[in-house]
């Protein structure tokens, strides 16, 4: 853009000199350099503060699916990369061992309840001890708790989707044996209920960014189009500023100036929902400062949107 503006000035200057409106003296000879410095110092450098621009990335929450119970998989009705709703079945584990355990506990509970009823009648007729009744009540309560746990285990043999989304890279098949170990997930579930769009802004340009400011974003997934949105938040930490608990003393390391990440939300919720995870683009944030440069930033962003038709990077 600065080259375009400078070329426009040169064309105007050429016309003024050509038609002898201004003399071609030393002042007009060095005027392009003066105009270039004025554009840089007075407009384009402050534009990075008032309307910062940075690369945008669409990410989605990924849930590692780990079953709560172990067993043999008997059915995998879900298909990879197919949208599903929250609560839809991902796969089923053989319920026979868990059903058998539940039946056994329910039989024991029924017997314990009969014994409790008998001991209660004996105590009422002064032919039994209160201790025996209390012991029977404790056995019944313990078995009821075990039955509740067995029902929960049986219900968890059907593994369901935690939210709306889809399963990707699906390799699980019927006949496989799964375990309820946190380090052994059996599939990756991509949650599409929320679209997260992050914009990387250099630290020197992020000073005036605040939630609620307008944003414009263009994606390579949809070249030639600019979408509006709002700033949701500025993430208050990057990796270089993170410390972890350890037994070691402070270890010096190379300090890197990483960009800050700004989370934005698009006004077009339906389009945001359609964006694949990993979609990239460019975004401009319009702060309350250097308003004169906002128009130029809008033009630059639309130039990027058009070149996205042929620019793969």
Comparing 90 with 118, the larger pLDDT belongs to 90
Q: What pLDDT is recorded for position 47? A: 85
Answer yes or no: CATH 2.40.50.100 is held by domain 61-94+157-192. Answer: yes
Question: Hey, do 61-94+157-192 and 96-155 end up sharing a CATH topology, with the first three levels equal?
Answer: no
Q: pLDDT tens across 268-291, in order?
A: 999 998 898 899 999 999 999 888
Give the Cα separation of 218 and 58 in Å (integer).
12
Comparing 17 with 115, the larger pLDDT belongs to 115
Q: What pLDDT is recorded for position 25? A: 76
Average pLDDT over residues 82-107: 94
Domain spans of the chain, in order of start: 1-46, 51-60+194-241+256-313, 61-94+157-192, 96-155
Q: What pLDDT is recorded for position 116? A: 84
Q: Which fold has domain 96-155?
A: Helix Hairpins (1.10.287)
- Residue 38's pLDDT band, with cuts at 50, 70 and 90, is low
Q: What pLDDT is recorded for position 127? A: 64
Give the Cα separation of 100 and 106 in Å (integer).
10
Please answer whether residues 262 and 206 qualify as being in contact, where contact means their C-beta atoms are separated by less than 8 angstroms: yes
Query: What is the rounded average pLDDT for all residues in the chain?
Result: 87
Q: Tell me the CATH architecture of domain 51-60+194-241+256-313.
A: Beta Barrel (2.40)
Q: Taking 90 as the threshold, does the pLDDT of residue 120 lie above it?
A: no
Average pLDDT over residues 101-117: 91
Average pLDDT over residues 181-201: 90
Q: Which positions ≥6 away from 284 have C-beta within 8 Å? A: 51, 52, 53, 215, 216, 217, 297, 298, 300, 301
């Amino acid at each position: 853009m600065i080259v375009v503006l400078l070329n426009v000035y040169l064309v105007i200057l050429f016309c003024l000199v050509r038609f002898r409106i201004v003399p071609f003296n030393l002042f007009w000879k060095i005027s392009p350099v003066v105009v270039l410095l004025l554009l840089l110092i007075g407009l384009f450098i402050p534009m990075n503060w008032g309307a910062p621009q940075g690369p945008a990335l669409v990410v989605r929450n990924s849930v590692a699916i780990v079953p709560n119970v172990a067993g043999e998989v008997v059915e995998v009705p879900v298909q990879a990369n197919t949208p599903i709703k929250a609560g839809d079945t991902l796969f089923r584990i053989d319920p026979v061992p868990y059903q058998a355990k539940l039946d056994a506990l329910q039989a024991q509970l029924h017997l314990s309840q009969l014994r409790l009823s008998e001991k209660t009648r004996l105590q009422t007729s002064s032919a039994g001890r209160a201790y025996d009744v209390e012991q029977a009540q404790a056995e019944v309560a313990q078995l009821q708790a075990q039955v509740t746990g067995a029902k929960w285990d049986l219900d968890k043999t059907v593994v369901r989707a935690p939210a709306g989304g889809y399963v990707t890279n699906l390799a699980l098949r019927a006949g496989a044996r799964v375990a309820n170990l946190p380090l052994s997930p059996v599939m990756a579930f991509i949650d599409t209920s929320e679209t997260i769009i992050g914009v990387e802004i250099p630290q020197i340009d992020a000073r005036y960014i605040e939630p609620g400011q307008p944003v414009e974003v263009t994606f390579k997934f949809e070249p030639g189009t600019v979408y509006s949105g709002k700033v949701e938040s500025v993430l208050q930490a990057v990796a270089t500023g993170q410390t972890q608990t350890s037994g070691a003393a402070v270890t010096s390391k190379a300090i890197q100036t990483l960009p800050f990440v700004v989370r934005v939300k698009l006004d077009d919720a339906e389009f945001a929902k359609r964006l694949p995870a990993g979609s990239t683009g460019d975004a401009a944030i319009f702060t309350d400062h250097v308003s004169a440069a906002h128009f130029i930033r809008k033009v630059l962003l639309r130039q990027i949107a058009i070149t996205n038709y042929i620019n793969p990077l």
